[in-house]
């Protein structure tokens, strides 16, 4: 059996593991549709795309969801940041990439703390370039993105020109629907205080820059790729509760879509698949690392949005389930390491 065949089998196992619809949110039909369009493992295709980032290249990463912005825009949710941190870390270690994390200015303190817990020291872009040259430090760059439609749309081309990213990666980042409204999974208008990063992704897609996106609910950047399946299978997929006349499905698509029952699990699986490809165990998002990030997210005040409280039950799933997924992903790829 060739390494290639082994990797393909591991990819399929990772795909299936993270798409068991434990939360009963309708992710399994989205998984099936995305697999059909991809023609193979979603996790594997995402890992291939990330491993193809040129050495010392530039990657834009986005995550973050202001969870109760009508109360305070400083409150973010805990699905997304740890997964994004695991991916950024793998990209820095394996590709010496400069990772630029975009989110709401109000969420930078919390997400920055999660990046630090993943081993990445936040610096400015010029400093990240120095660290890339001499490989003396694993860094990350935090940048705010505008929260109004007008400014979000206007910022996109200039930011792509300035950063010249080799790839864009999104996880658990809500995108607008075809009426221009940002929705929660319960179908309410969720747009206030929210960074309009989806405009940047639309522009990147139009320019042919590779885009990888992870989502679990249908309302995230990337889900435009399976829009008709979101309409058919996800609660409020065809008709929201806000009165805009659309469903919650995000209109922004992507090149590679990774569905998962919890977006963080999708990222854990992708990091494992990258480790298998690189023959590099350091890229694995281990259960110890997951525990560290869960603790960091609680300390940073990120919220379990399902239960409306700051704790380590991401998407309402208990802490042990997240450690278990990390353990199983690590175990699956151990055959290749």
Instruction: Enumerate binding residues for Zn ion (CB under 5 A).
Output: 181, 240, 242, 244
- Write down the least CB distance from residue 328 to Zn ion, Å: 37
- For 80-127, the DSSP string reads SHHHHHHHHHHHHHHH--EEEEEE-GGGHHHHHHHHHHTT-EE--HHH
- The answer to whether 261 and 216 are in contact (CB under 8 A) is yes
- Write down the least CB distance from residue 155 to Zn ion, Å: 24
Closer CB to Zn ion, 123 or 244, in the complex: 244
Closer CB to Zn ion, 236 or 317, in the complex: 236
- Write down the least CB distance from residue 242 to Zn ion, Å: 3
The C-alpha atoms of residue 322 and residue 117 are separated, in whole angstroms, by 16
Q: How far is CA 64 from CA 8, 133, 253, in A?
A: 31, 29, 18
The C-alpha atoms of residue 54 and residue 97 are separated, in whole angstroms, by 8
Give the containing element (helix H, strand E) for 320.
helix 319-333
- The answer to whether 201 and 277 are in contact (CB under 8 A) is no
Closer CB to Zn ion, 190 or 317, in the complex: 190
- Write down the least CB distance from residue 178 to Zn ion, Å: 10
Closer CB to Zn ion, 109 or 180, in the complex: 180
Closer CB to Zn ion, 74 or 149, in the complex: 149
- For 184-238, the DSSP string reads -TTS-B--TT---HHHHHHHHHHHT--EEEEESSSSBTTGGGGHHHHHHHSTTSS
- Write down the least CB distance from residue 181 to Zn ion, Å: 5
Closer CB to Zn ion, 45 or 248, in the complex: 248
The single residue listed with the structure tokens 């998002």 is 285
- Write down the least CB distance from residue 245 to Zn ion, Å: 7
């Amino acid at each position: 059996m060739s390494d290639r065949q082994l990797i393909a089998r591991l990819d399929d196992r990772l795909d299936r593991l993270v798409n068991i619809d434990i939360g009963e949110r309708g992710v399994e039909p989205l998984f099936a549709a995305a697999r059909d369009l991809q023609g193979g493992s979603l996790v594997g295709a995402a890992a291939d795309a990330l491993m193809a980032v040129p050495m010392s290249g530039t990657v834009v990463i986005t995550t973050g969801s202001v969870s109760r912005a009508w109360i305070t825009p400083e409150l973010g949710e805990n699905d997304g940041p740890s997964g994004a941190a695991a991916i950024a870390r793998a990209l820095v270690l394996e590709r010496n990439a400069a990772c630029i994390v975009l989110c709401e200015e109000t969420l930078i303190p919390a997400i920055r703390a999660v990046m630090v817990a993943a081993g990445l020291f936040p610096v400015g872009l010029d400093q990240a370039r120095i660290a890339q040259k001499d490989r003396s430090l694993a860094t990350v760059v935090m940048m705010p993105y505008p929260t109004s439609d007008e400014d979000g749309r206007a910022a996109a081309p200039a930011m792509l020109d300035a950063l010249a990213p080799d790839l864009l990666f999104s996880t658990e980042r809500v995108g607008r629907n075809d009426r221009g409204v940002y929705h929660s999974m319960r179908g309410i208008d969720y747009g206030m205080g929210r960074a309009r990063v989806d405009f940047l992704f639309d522009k990147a897609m139009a320019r042919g820059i590779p885009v990888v996106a992870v989502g679990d609910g249908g309302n995230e950047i990337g889900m435009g790729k399976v829009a008709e399946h979101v309409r058919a299978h996800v609660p409020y997929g065809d008709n929201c509760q806000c009165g805009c006349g659309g469903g919650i499905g995000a209109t922004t698509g992507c090149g590679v879509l990774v569905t998962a029952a919890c977006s963080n699990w999708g990222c854990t699986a992708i990091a494992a698949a990258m480790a298998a490809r690189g023959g590099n165990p350091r890229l694995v998002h281990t259960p110890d690392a997951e525990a560290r990030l869960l603790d960091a997210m609680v300390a940073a005040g990120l919220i379990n949005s399902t239960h409306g409280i700051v704790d380590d039950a991401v998407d309402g799933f208990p802490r042990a389930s997240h450690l278990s997924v990390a353990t199983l992903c690590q175990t699956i790829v151990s055959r290749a390491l």
